[in-house]
């Protein structure tokens, strides 16, 4: 009998922000049995990166190569795009098949477990009062920005990543200081009404501890960031979950 899969949910890894952080993740990830394991990345996987393979840095390439091997051994991985994951193209004519993810979602990713519907999102759409960031988000995801981006040589794109990272810091600096609880509850209620869920997973806000918000139907979780805490969420096929500290 095949053992049930465990989904390892990682929020805000920001790989590349600290020396050796990818080595730490890979040393742990290589101990997992691929047939019983799957990764779900809630965005901001790297400190900043561009999706197309031509723009990958050596750090990005190392992780993509690991995930490719992991898939080949029966494992899986999925990605929700965050605010530091740029130039991810969607729609007709813009496939992302060159990346080793079973699914890449721009806003919401749906997992149907055994009787449990899970929605996963980065979390950057929660605070509707963060107008500067939301304008920046629309600009970076616009077709004309991506078209102009695609005309640049890879060397220029890699330099541009540094400027984008600086711009991201400035767009929502004020709104990172406190968790927007009222906006979060409103977001959960509106998403429940529009899409329905038993469990909604989000990152983006980098809380020190797991935030759990029950609703009359369903529950919302905001995960601690892996970058500072080294913490993941393990999610079982029956919808049960717990935090896991990576050594």
CATH, residue 64: 3.60.21.10
Alpha-carbon distance values, 122 to 85, 105, 167, 216 (Å): 11, 10, 19, 23
Which residues is 176 bridged to in the sheet?
A: none
Is the model's pLDDT at 176 over the cut of 80? no
Which helix (H) or strand (E) segment is 240 a member of? none
Q: Answer for the pair 11, 203: CB distance below 8 angstroms, yes or no.
A: yes
* Residue 1 forms part of a structural domain: no
* Greatest mean pLDDT among 1-5, 45-49, 51-55, 153-157: 45-49
Write out the residue range of the structural domain in which residue 141 sits.
6-245
Please report whether residue 88 resides in a domain. Answer: yes
Is the pLDDT at 96 greater than 60? The verdict is no
Contacts of 4 (CB under 8 A, 6+ apart): 36, 236, 237
* Helix H or strand E encompassing 11: none
Contact 78, 109 (CB under 8 A): yes
Span 69-81, average pLDDT: 95
Whether 128 is covered by a domain: the verdict is yes
Beta strands 37-41 and 6-10: pairing type? parallel
More confident residue, 210 or 2: 210
Q: Examine residue 200 and state whether it is found in any structural domain, yes or no.
A: yes
- The number of distinct structural domains making up the chain is 1
């Amino acid at each position: 009998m095949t053992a049930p899969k465990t989904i390892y949910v990682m929020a805000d890894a920001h790989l590349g922000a600290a020396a050796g952080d990818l080595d730490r993740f890979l040393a742990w990830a290589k101990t997992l049995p691929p047939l019983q394991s799957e990764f779900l990345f809630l965005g901001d996987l790297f400190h900043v990166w561009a999706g197309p393979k031509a723009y990958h840095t050596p750090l990005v390439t190392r992780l993509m190569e690991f995930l490719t091997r992991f898939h080949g051994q029966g494992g899986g991985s999925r990605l929700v795009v965050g605010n530091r994951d740029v130039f991810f193209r969607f729609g007709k004519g813009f496939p992302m098949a060159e990346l080793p993810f079973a699914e890449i979602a721009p806003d919401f990713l749906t997992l149907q477990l055994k009787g449990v519907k899970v929605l996963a999102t980065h979390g950057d759409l929660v605070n509707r009062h963060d107008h500067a960031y939301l304008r920046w988000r629309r600009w970076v995801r616009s077709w004309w920005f991506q078209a102009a981006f695609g005309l640049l040589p890879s060397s220029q794109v890699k330099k541009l990543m540094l400027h984008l990272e600086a711009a991201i810091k400035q767009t929502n600096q004020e709104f990172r200081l406190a968790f927007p609880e009222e906006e979060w509850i409103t977001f959960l209620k509106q998403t429940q009404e529009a899409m329905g869920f038993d469990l909604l997973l989000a990152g983006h806000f980098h809380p020190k501890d797991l935030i759990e918000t029950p609703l009359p139907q369903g529950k919302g979780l905001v995960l601690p960031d892996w970058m500072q805490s080294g913490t993941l969420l393990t999610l079982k096929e029956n919808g049960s979950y717990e935090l896991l500290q990576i050594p």
